[in-house]
């Protein structure tokens, strides 16, 4: 068996070829540093850009919220305005009705006092109205309140004398006829003075007028509210 050779450290590393030193693997190049002023500028630009974007987004959000607030306020204002207009129209209508009622009441009181002061006045006017057309009528009948019979007879006789009427005159007092009312009758016609029926006609006319006005006001409200 061959003897083992002892290992010694007598190698001279200085004698190794030069290429041995370059046998080590290449290391990555050291990173090149960015100047601090460039970094600061980039950070500042990023901040400014972010601030601008945030400001724009905030302004857009504020504008949207403001538009919604204005729209809501406008809607509420329109609703309040319509309500106020309706209330004003209703109050105006109530005042109008009250004014009409007052006018009718005053008119009736004046008519009542006028009839009491001149109870034969209306019948005298009726006789004067029909007398020119009674030239060929055989007779004329006048019905009135008993308290006015004599006065009406005198009035009719005086008008007949100047009208040329040659027929017969009959004046009859009837208790169911109101003072100031009366009827003129002849063969083919007649005239009636009835304050009760006249009052009913006036009330009906006023009621129809007020109903039409109220209906017009209601239609106006519906158009404004879009119904």
What is the pTM assigned to this prediction? 0.52
Distances, alpha carbon 125 to alpha carbons 95, 156, 202, in Å: 36, 10, 20
Q: Which domains does the chain have, with CATH numbers?
A: 118-193 (3.30.2320)
pLDDT in tens, the chain (227 residues): 455 555 454 545 455 555 444 445 555 555 556 677 776 777 777 777 777 777 676 666 667 677 778 777 777 777 777 777 778 878 888 888 888 888 888 887 887 777 788 888 889 999 998 888 888 889 999 999 999 999 999 999 999 888 888 889 999 999 999 998 999 999 888 999 988 888 888 888 888 888 888 887 766 556 655 55
Helix (H) or strand (E) holding 175: none
Residue with tokens 């007779």, as numbered in its chain? 139
Please count the other Cβ atoms lying within 10 Å of the Cβ belonging to residue 186. 17
């Amino acid at each position: 068996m061959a003897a083992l050779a002892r290992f010694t450290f007598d190698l001279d590393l200085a004698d190794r070829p030069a290429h041995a030193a370059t046998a080590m693997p290449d290391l990555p190049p050291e990173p090149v540093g960015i100047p601090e002023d460039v970094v600061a500028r980039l950070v500042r630009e990023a901040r400014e850009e972010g601030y601008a974007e945030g400001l724009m987004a905030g302004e857009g959000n504020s504008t949207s919220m403001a538009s919604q607030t204005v729209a809501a306020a406008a809607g509420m204002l329109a609703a309040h305005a319509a309500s106020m207009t309706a209330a004003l129209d209703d109050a105006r209508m109530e005042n109008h009705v009250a004014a009409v009622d007052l006018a009718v009441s005053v008119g009736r009181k004046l008519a009542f006092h006028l009839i009491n002061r001149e109870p034969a006045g209306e019948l005298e006017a009726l006789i004067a109205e029909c007398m020119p057309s009674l030239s060929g009528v055989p007779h004329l009948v006048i019905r009135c309140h008993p308290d006015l019979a004599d006065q009406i007879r005198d009035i009719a006789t005086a008008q007949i004398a100047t009208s040329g009427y040659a027929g017969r005159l009959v004046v009859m007092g009837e208790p169911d006829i109101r003072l100031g009312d009366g009827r003129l009758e002849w063969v083919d016609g007649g005239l009636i003075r009835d304050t009760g029926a006249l009052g009913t006609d006036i009330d009906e006319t006023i009621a129809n007028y007020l109903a039409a006005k109220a209906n017009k006001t209601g239609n106006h409200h519906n158009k404004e509210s879009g119904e």
